[in-house]
């Protein structure tokens, strides 16, 4: 009784095209895992930065002093700090020009913060399109390798005088490895994309809520002046 072939032997005995498909899927899987860990650490860092900044913001610190502290390190500003700097900086610029209409001032302030929000959303969503692409296309790439491998297996059977299951099974097994590798690449990518998309949406809602709160504070200040 012959021993079953290992996965490594099946990969080694596969046709060149099927092996190429497997290499592509392995590379896609490795890249996905790198981006998954990178996004995980990045979003956790952003979460901590938001918590720290909001704690400082609501501690009663003078907003002008807070803006001055941020201006000392413009290259190291976090996402929510950039949002505050954009909104409060625009407010101070218009106040310095003597703009009297509070509603007009708030329109410019909101516009400046929307630009900062757009940049932050792009930064938070970095690499997510790649994860979505890997998750949606990897099973089809693996299926292509499987179909090609099965075609080769049956073509080889056609040249045999007596076809047996033992003669067909290795070729089909080699082909099915491609589908398994496609699923192995796709499943973590889909889970990572869905998880990180939800986290990005949650962070963006916190940014938007903070922008609304800052707008209310600045509007009250503009009205009382």
Q: Where are the beta strands (DSSP E) in the chain?
A: none
Residues 6+ apart with CB under 8 A from 27: none
| CA distance readout (Å), 37 to 44, 127, 193 | 11, 11, 12
Residue 1 has a pLDDT of: 42
CB-based burial label for 45 (10 Å; 0-12, 13-18, 19+):
exposed
| CA distance readout (Å), 7 to 18, 104, 115, 215 | 14, 68, 52, 60
Retrieve residue 211's tokens.
């922008």
Radius of gyration of the chain (CA): 28
Give the integer Cα–Cα distance in Å for 156 and 150.
10
Nearest of 109, 73, 76, 93 to residue 211 by alpha carbon: 109
Residue 76 has a pLDDT of: 79
Residue 180 has a pLDDT of: 87
- Its pTM stands at 0.81
Residue 171 has a pLDDT of: 65
pLDDT in tens, the chain (225 residues): 445 556 666 666 667 777 888 889 999 999 999 999 999 999 999 999 999 988 888 888 888 888 888 888 877 788 888 899 889 888 888 877 766 677 788 888 899 999 999 999 999 998 899 999 999 999 999 888 888 878 777 776 666 656 555 556 666 777 788 888 899 999 999 999 999 999 999 999 999 999 999 988 888 877 776
Nearest of 65, 62, 39, 66 to residue 52 by alpha carbon: 66
Per the CB < 8 A criterion, the answer to whether 172 and 149 are in contact is yes
Retrieve residue 107's tokens.
């329109």
Residue 157 has a pLDDT of: 67
Q: 10 Å Cβ neighbour count for 1?
A: 3
């Amino acid at each position: 009784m012959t021993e079953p072939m290992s996965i490594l032997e099946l990969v080694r005995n596969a046709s060149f095209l099927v092996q190429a498909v497997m290499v592509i899927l392995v590379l896609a899987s490795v890249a996905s895992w790198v981006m998954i860990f990178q996004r995980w650490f990045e979003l956790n860092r952003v979460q901590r930065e938001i918590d720290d900044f909001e704690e400082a913001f609501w501690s009663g610190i003078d907003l002008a002093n807070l803006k001055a502290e941020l201006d000392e390190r413009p290259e190291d500003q976090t996402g929510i700090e950039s949002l505050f700097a954009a909104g409060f900086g625009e407010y101070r610029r218009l106040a310095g020009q003597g703009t009297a209409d509070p509603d007009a001032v708030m329109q410019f302030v909101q516009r400046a913060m929307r630009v900062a929000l757009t940049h932050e959303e792009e930064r938070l969503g970095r690499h997510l399109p790649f994860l979505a692409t890997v998750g949606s296309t990897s099973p089809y790439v693996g299926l292509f390798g499987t179909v090609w491998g099965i075609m080769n297996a049956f073509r080889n059977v056609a040249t045999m005088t007596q076809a047996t299951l033992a003669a067909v099974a290795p070729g089909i097994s080699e082909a099915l490895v491609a589908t398994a590798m496609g699923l192995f690449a796709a499943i973590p990518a889909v889970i990572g994309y869905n998880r990180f998309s939800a986290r990005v949406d949650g962070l963006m809602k916190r940014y938007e809520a903070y922008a609304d709160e800052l707008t209310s504070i600045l509007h009250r200040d503009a009205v009382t002046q």
